[in-house]
Amino acid sequence: MSSIEQVNLLQGANSYFGLSQGNCLPLTALPFGLTHWSPQTAEGPWLFDGRARKLQGVRATHQPSPWIGDYGHFVVMAQVGTLRPGNEERASAYRPEQSVFRPDGFAADLIRYDTRLEMTPTERCAVFRFRFPTTDAARVILDPCAGESWVRVEPERNRVVGYTRGKTGGAPDNFACYFVAVFSHPIAGFVTFDGSKKQQAEAEWSGTRAGAAVTFATESDRPVEMQIATSFISIAQAERSLAREVGDDGFEAIRARAQQVWEQALGRITVEGGTETQQRVFASCLYRTLLFPRKWYEYDAEGDPIHFSPYDGQVHAGVLYADNGFWDTYRTVYPLLALLMPEQLSEILEGWTQACREGGWFPQWASPGYRACMVGTHVDAVIADAVVRGVRGFDVERAYEGMRKHALEVGDDAGNYGRIGITDYLKLGYVAARYHESVARSLDYAYDDFCIAQVAEALGKPEDRALFLERARNYAHLYDPAVGFMRARNLDGSWADFREFQWGSPYVEGGPWQSTWAVPHDPAGLIALFGGREAFVAKLERMLTQPPHFDVGVYGFEIHEMTEMACAGFGQYAHSNQPVHHALYLFTAAGRPDRTQYWVHRVLTELYTPDVFPGDEDNGEMSAWYVLSALGIFPLCPGHPSWTLGAPLFNRARIQLPQGKALVIEAERTGANPIYAQRISLNGAEHAALWVDHATLAEGGVLRVTVTDTPTCAPSYPDEALPFSLSTHLLP
């Protein structure tokens, strides 16, 4: 099978408020596309349920997460007979098991209407094909889902144009998603309607959730095609995108093109060996890593990129990206892109830098503009990781100005940008307990300061480098040896109240067991706080093996992450959420790569399946964790140009690198249950270290690992073999 045939778009789709198995939509789109398309079975944030058997239509969606919400969304649906525009009124039975869910296309039989609906995407457009029965009442409905909307039917041009201002935040009042839909058949009749289902047989309607339904006289052997384009700039710009991306091509040509794009994208990494299940999980996860962040730019008449800015409400030249939670994605997605497609990453980083130009600050969580969500300023890690891995082609100096600003100046009290509690942090070296999530913020700020120091060094700013490296040590202020965890402090330096299993403030979406490890930039210093390697390894093992107790704390009820941890069977290791995603690799930093390999293998094989994720799959982060861990390379510290080495899951993986280079990772397996790396060679030479620098991997070659069923007894590993030297620490 080709990779595209192995991808399961339904992986993670069976989720709801109380339990996440991914919180994913089955998205048909091109990589990083401006608009995604998803079947809709319900209204609200959880708009698709794989268990549902009624389809309300196909939704043009920009939702990065159900917790963030959608914007610029509308639904396309086919119907025969009496007009019923409401979501439930128009819904039709369909058979998911007989439907097509692919990155390059979706198709389903609408049983109620004896109609087949198909669609295939471009970056900003899509082409639909409807196979109606012979009738004079075949209908296509365009229904904006929320907010102020406007539509106009132009029967003389066989098209519908309109816009929706629907959004959940992060955009100015003049935001709109415009669309142009052009049909292959003459429009025989039409109505427009509003959210109260009031109808009128006129050309346009403006109001709340204004939509349109157009009818056709059809024959069963002549399908109706609809070309539809989306734009955040104007109807004229949508027309331009439609001409650029679709033109005179029909459904089959666009579908073939979309398939080719995905085959090339997924073909950047090919794997051999492993089980069929593991190959399917790998392909599905690789697909998820290529959806976000979203291209938020279009092309003008001269072919130059332009975009509407959700930060200032104006149209600007250049590229922009949106829909990304840096708190999640910095950990795995961006390091993977730095290896796999650095040119794409360069453009993404220029997009984030442009956001900082337009809004004055980097976004905390971009969807499409500023959103107050999560802690830290982890765009720092995204930029630093790219810089130390040699990615250029974006305005590094301007990016650094934005990083330095939110590390030194007071930002937004609501948390849309900047660092909440920055005054405390600058004065005390930590955020005091008077602020919500104070421990999580303090640890993240220290790590982000380390990242800023790396960019300062690259730009030749020694004073800044020294300042931020010193601040990167601030994590130590919160470690209390009396309890063995990171703990909140008051303004006067006294320890705040502490409960070992309490979730929430002063932590975030976890408690002491999940949050204490958040020092990826100085594992040696963290190990020293715990009393040395042996004590540190024992603490990690205890996290993974003790019962999954939790106290709901400030949440007041059992949030879905608690449920997922309790059901996973990995103790206090909550892989359902990001704070622990680097923790298993800390075993390697402490000289016990065998324990990393044991636990990573268990997570790969027990918590991921072709159908489910172990928790929220946030913008590709959980998928990228699987992809990298299965390859046997992992970025323990984004912002440091290294890859921690492990035991590959597959016998052979080939990674297509830029400029025609390739990295081949081979695993020679012996024994009954080979999960431990015994020997490593790089381009034929023995490689004694447990890490490799990015520049070496980026040159390509052959990384060969001997994998056995016997753990390497490694407490005696010399410091220079470890990912970061314990003799000098990572911090000078």
Write out the two tokens for 516: 């204490």
The closest of 153, 107, 157, 156 to 129, measured between CA atoms, is 107
End-to-end CA distance of the chain: 50
Domains defined along the chain, listed by start: 3-265 (2.70.98.10), 325-652 (1.20.1610.10)
Predicted pLDDT at 195: 58
Predicted pLDDT at 278: 98
Predicted pLDDT at 720: 78
Predicted pLDDT at 266: 98
Distance CA 121, CA 105 (A): 7
Please list the rounded mean pLDDT of every run of 10 residues in the chain (732 residues): 88 94 97 98 95 97 97 97 93 98 98 98 98 96 90 95 95 97 96 68 64 93 96 98 97 98 98 97 98 98 98 98 97 98 98 98 97 96 98 98 97 95 97 98 98 97 96 97 98 97 96 98 94 96 97 94 95 97 96 95 98 97 98 97 96 97 97 92 94 96 95 69 66 52
**480 strand-pairing partners:** 485
| Cβ density class 394-411: b for 16+ within 10 Å, e for less | bbbeebbebbbbbbeeeb
293 prior amide bond cis, ω within 30: yes
Main-chain dihedrals φ then ψ at residue 613, nearest 5 degrees:
-105, 160
User: Are 35 and 62 a contacting pair, CB within 8 Å?
Assistant: yes
- pLDDT tens sequence across 613-665: 999 999 999 999 999 999 999 999 999 999 999 999 999 999 999 999 999 99
Predicted pLDDT at 288: 98
Predicted pLDDT at 145: 82
> Which pTM value belongs to this model?
0.97
**206 strand-pairing partners:** 150
- pLDDT tens sequence across 280-319: 999 999 999 999 999 999 999 999 999 999 999 999 999 9
Predicted pLDDT at 570: 97
Predicted pLDDT at 719: 79
Distance CA 178, CA 160 (A): 11
User: How far does CA 300 lie from the centroid of its chain?
Assistant: 28
User: Are 77 and 119 a contacting pair, CB within 8 Å?
Assistant: no
Beta strands per DSSP E along 175-293: 177-183, 189-193, 199-200, 204-208, 211-218, 224-231, 269-272
Predicted pLDDT at 104: 98
Predicted pLDDT at 702: 98
Predicted pLDDT at 146: 81
Predicted pLDDT at 243: 98
